[in-house]
Structure 1
Amino acid sequence: MRLHLITVGEPKLAYARAGWDEYEKRLRRYHKVQVTRVAGKTQALESEAVRRAAGRAPLILLDPRGQQFTSEGLAAFLEGRAVGGDGELAFAVGGPDGHTDDLRTGAAALWSLGQLTLPHDLAMVVLAEALYRASTITAGEPYHRG
């Protein structure tokens, strides 16, 4: 499966850059990964850039209104999308104000990382790690012991 990771901006803090780089590299062992960094001066411009970047791929928005997954649940969700014929999924981390209502309405799904508010940089790392963990679960590898 192809995973398209779309972020508004890129990690600025050293720990987040290192974490993103590490988990993106690991994730590439299981999927074709494309990363797109978009910019925008307003929430509307950011959301439009995310929409354009996703193209025809089903868009999964990281959003506090979304469904929360366990790691096993995320693995099952990804497997279900792959079996259902989705050759590509686009995941998007929004900017400081999140996504617009219009973008949320058109999304294939909303995914919440939990009830905590995470710094933007950390949310990007958590996205990459969670997708990696789900991939190892699907592959039956021991990374996830849980």
Structure 2
Amino acid sequence: MRLHLITVGEPKLAYARAGWDEYEKRLRRFHRVQVTRVSARTQAQESGAVRRAAGRAPLVLLDPRGAQFTSEGLSAFLDAQAVSGVGELAFAVGGPDGHTDELRAGAARLWSLGQLTLPHDLAMVVLLEALYRAGTISAGEPYHRG
């Protein structure tokens, strides 16, 4: 399956750039990965750019209003999407003000990384690590330990 990662901006801090690069490389072992960086001046423009970037792919928004996944649950979700014939999923990390109500209403799923507020750079790295970990679970690899 192709995973399309859409972010408002890119990691700015050195640790986040290194983490993004590392986990993006690892994730490519399990999925085809596309990365799109969008930028805009307003929240509405950001959300429009995210929607356009996702195209027809089901859109999963990282949003504090969303449901949380366990690592096993995320693995099962991705597997179920692949089995159902979904060829691509788009995951979007919004800007500092998050996503608009309109974009949330049109999303296939809202996914919360937890109740903590994470810096934008860190949220991007956590997204990639979670997707990579889910891939290792699906493949039965030893990276994941309960």
With the shorter chain as reference, the TM-score category is over 0.9
Q: Partner residue of 2:19?
A: 19
Per-residue Cα deviation, 1:41-60 (whole angstroms, up to 9, x for no partner): 11000000000000000000
Q: For the aligned residues, what is the CA RMSD?
A: 0.3
Superposition TM-score, scaled by structure 1 size: 0.99
Per-residue Cα deviation, 1:19-72 (whole angstroms, up to 9, x for no partner): 000000000011000000000111000000000000000000000000100000
Paired positions, count: 146
Q: Partner residue of 1:127?
A: 127
Runs of 4 or more, structure 1, over 6 Å off, are none
Q: Specify the code of the residue in structure 1 equivalent to 2:77.
A: F
Q: Specify the code of the residue in structure 1 equivalent to 2:61.
A: L
Give the deviation of 1:85 after TM superposition: 1.1
Gaps of at least 5 residues in structure 1 are none
Equivalent residue of 2:126, what SS? helix
Superposition TM-score, scaled by structure 2 size: 0.99
1-side partners of 2:137 and 2:58: how far apart?
Answer: 22
- Give aligned-pair identity as a percent: 86
Q: Partner residue of 1:144?
A: 144
Q: Partner residue of 1:90?
A: 90
1-side partners of 2:22 and 2:104: how far apart?
Answer: 29
Is residue 2:114 matched to residue 1:109? Answer: no
Gaps of at least 5 residues in structure 2 are none
